[in-house]
Amino acid sequence: MRKMKKWVERFRWLAKEEKGLTLIELLAVIVVLGIIAAIAVPSISGILGNTKKEAHRANATQIVEAARQMVAIKGYKPGTDGAIQMKRINETNGSIENDKELKANSYMKIKLEDLINDGYFPKEGITNPEESGKYYDTADTVVYVLEDDKHNFDYWVNLRQKGNSGTNYFENMKYEDIVSGKAKPQ
């Protein structure tokens, strides 16, 4: 029992004398923090990248919904005076090409600038989530409205960044594929 008391007194004395961490303890803490950072940083950047893609998807959805409203409210039908420009969409590969032989009542193109001018979006446009203060191209961001034989409408989207190096986030993607998640922003 006496020996035990001596050891306890000794440890108390050692504990009083210790004022900080040893170099090895400090290095161990730094290594553990480095490992945590190495795991966390890529995960966070992946989350941010997915968030931007989801923002593009939401913006494309808003643009199509505004085009749907414009078509419904103004009574636009492909080929009428309300149609801005006629195009043909080759559904096998999604490419858009001019087709002079196509009847004028089949397809319609609605630009983002038309939706802005009609008050569906603010005058400056829709902010691009990739770059702060940048917007989608109002002339090249378009919704293509297609009318099939049963008079049902399909909507295709081309979502493009403003500027010379404009990135196509969605290029001629079918609206249903964007909503369902089949179509991914580039």
| Mean pLDDT value of segment 70-83 | 64
Q: What is the pLDDT of residues 27-59, one digit of tens each?
A: 999 999 999 999 888 888 778 778 888 888 888
Give the angle 127-88-139 at the CA atoms, nearest 5°: 25
| Mean pLDDT value of segment 111-132 | 86
Please state the domain count of the chain.
1
The span from the CA of 108 to the CA of 71, in Å, is 10
**Burial classification of residue 178, based on how many CB atoms lie within 10 Å of its CB (0-12 exposed, 13-18 middle, 19 or more buried):** buried
Evaluate if residue 92 carries a pLDDT over 70: no
**In this predicted structure, what is the pLDDT of residue 77?**
62
Beta-bridge mates of residue 109: 144
Give a yes or no: residue 25 inside a domain.
no
Q: Which of 72-76, 122-126, 163-167, 179-183 has the highest mean pLDDT?
A: 122-126
Helix/strand/coil (H/E/C) assignment for every residue in 111-122: EHHHHHHCCCCC
Residue percentage of the chain with pLDDT more than 70:
70
Q: Which of 67-71, 84-88, 129-133, 151-155 has the highest mean pLDDT?
A: 67-71
Cβ count within 10 A of residue 106:
20
Strands 153-160 and 142-147: antiparallel
Give a yes or no: residue 48 inside a domain.
no
Give a yes or no: residue 97 inside a domain.
yes
* Confidence band of 106 (pLDDT split at 50, 70, 90): low
Give a yes or no: residue 20 inside a domain.
no
Give a yes or no: residue 10 inside a domain.
no
Give a yes or no: residue 11 inside a domain.
no
**In this predicted structure, what is the pLDDT of residue 28?**
93
| Mean pLDDT value of segment 88-100 | 42
Domain of residue 63, residue span: 56-180
Give a yes or no: residue 3 inside a domain.
no
Q: What is the pLDDT of residues 130-156, one digit of tens each?
A: 777 788 888 888 888 887 767 778 888
| Mean pLDDT value of segment 75-101 | 45
Evaluate if residue 5 carries a pLDDT over 80: no
Evaluate if residue 12 carries a pLDDT over 50: yes
- Stronger pLDDT, 180 or 163, i.e. the higher one: 180
Q: First-to-last CA distance in the chain?
A: 76
Give a yes or no: residue 16 inside a domain.
no
Cβ count within 10 A of residue 101:
5
